[in-house]
Amino acid sequence: MRVLIIDDHPVMRFGVRQLIERRWPEAAVGEADCLARALELARAQAWEVAVLDLSLPDASGLEGLAQLRRAVPRLPVLVLSMHDEAAYASRALQLGAAGYLTKDHATTELVTAIERVCNGGRYISADLAGHLADLLSGRGETRAPHETLSAQEYRVMLLIAAGRSASEIADTMHLSVKTVGTYRSRIIDKTGLANTAEIARYCATHGLVDPR
């Protein structure tokens, strides 16, 4: 078992490592405290799974997942997040995550999730699966404006909220500036948010961006 843990909190990395090594005493475990280091390790070595936190110093929200998936497409990524919203899990799965687990379920479910993902399956906890099913079937609460966006539009919205310019977003997502402008227009049309300031305020209010 070769597991790459990506989390900027040393205590969290220690806890995840302990759970892994208790189940697989001979496991090779790598650690990264930021996306840049994670990308370096992911490219340099072969891993069976990456356990990824979504709040990193150099990539907040789902951007870290998107960049990791682009850099190493064959690496299964299990998101381990503090966000328990079904919509957040849905976005992560859309962007290619092999599983989504909230941190409050890590102690009891992390090993099972890793095993499922390493065997080619997907994993989400039972309670989150129920909320996700309601969301996708339309039986849940009324969808928030950001939940109507495509995966790419959602990424652009979060990068706008993080203060990135159109050219910076284009570089990050490997798009043209014109395409970024098209996504921005679609975001405004779908959400009714008039400008960058309103987009940033909306994302902060709905907990879509890392407050730090």
What are the pLDDT digits (tens) for 155-175?
899 899 888 899 999 998 888
Q: Is the pLDDT of residue 138 over 70?
A: no
Confidence of residue 93 (pLDDT cuts 50, 70, 90): confident
Q: Which two tokens stand for residue 169?
A: 């977003």
Q: Is the pLDDT of residue 21 over 80?
A: yes
pTM of the model: 0.76
**Complete domains list, the chain, with CATH:** 2-137 (3.40.50.2300), 145-205 (1.10.10.10)
Is 170 in contact with 180 (CB distance < 8 Å)? yes
* pLDDT tens by residue, 57-68: 888 778 899 999
User: Mean pLDDT of all residues in the chain?
Assistant: 88
Q: Name which of 11, 2, 110, 112 is nearest 50 in CA terms.
A: 2
Confidence of residue 209 (pLDDT cuts 50, 70, 90): confident
